[in-house]
Homo-oligomer: A and B are copies of this chain.
């Protein structure tokens, strides 16, 4: 399995999240749910489904990029807890959720994934959130 130009983002991931930045391995995207600070990392590796489908160096690079996303979330949100999940029961293309959680958020203390339908941001809030996250990951930060 190799990183190549045959990578295509799954249409559901494309519809449910917005591009923030390309890390060295993974595309970082903001999930379009106004209730959560919720990122999803999608390695640009054609055909990858499970984390351990990746080559060992890519497995570790993905971990490092998840770590960068966690650090950005902690710095930005000062959240109580981070949640990391690689599920893929619905969308099989490998993607890792990284999100900020707090006592009293809508799904607390359960997982936010699949708990309810996304509550999409309005256009202005969406654009502001995208801009803020692009700044948080500034040039060169994620790779």
Is B111 in contact with A85, judged by CB distance below 8 angstroms? yes
Query: In the assembled complex, which residues on chain B have CB atoms less than 8 Å from the CB atom of A86?
Result: 82-85
Q: A70 touches which one: B52, B84, B85, B108 (CB < 8 A)?
A: B52
Residue in contact with A89 in the complex, picked from B60, B71, B109, CB distance below 8 Å: B109
How many interface residues does A have (CB within 8 Å)? 30
Residues B71 and A52 in contact, CB atoms below 8 Å apart: yes
Q: Which A residues contact B (CB, under 8 angstroms)?
A: 49-52, 59-60, 63, 66-67, 70-71, 81-90, 92, 101, 108-111, 113-115
Cα of A93 to Cα of B86 in the assembled complex, Å: 20
Partner of A83, one of B52, B66, B81, B87: B87
Bound complex: CA A85 to CA B109 (Å): 14
Please indicate the chain B residues that have their CB under 8 angstroms from the CB of A108 in the complex.
89
Contact (Cβ within 8 A) A89 B70 = no
The one of B71, B109, B114 that contacts A111, using a Cβ cutoff of 8 Å: B114
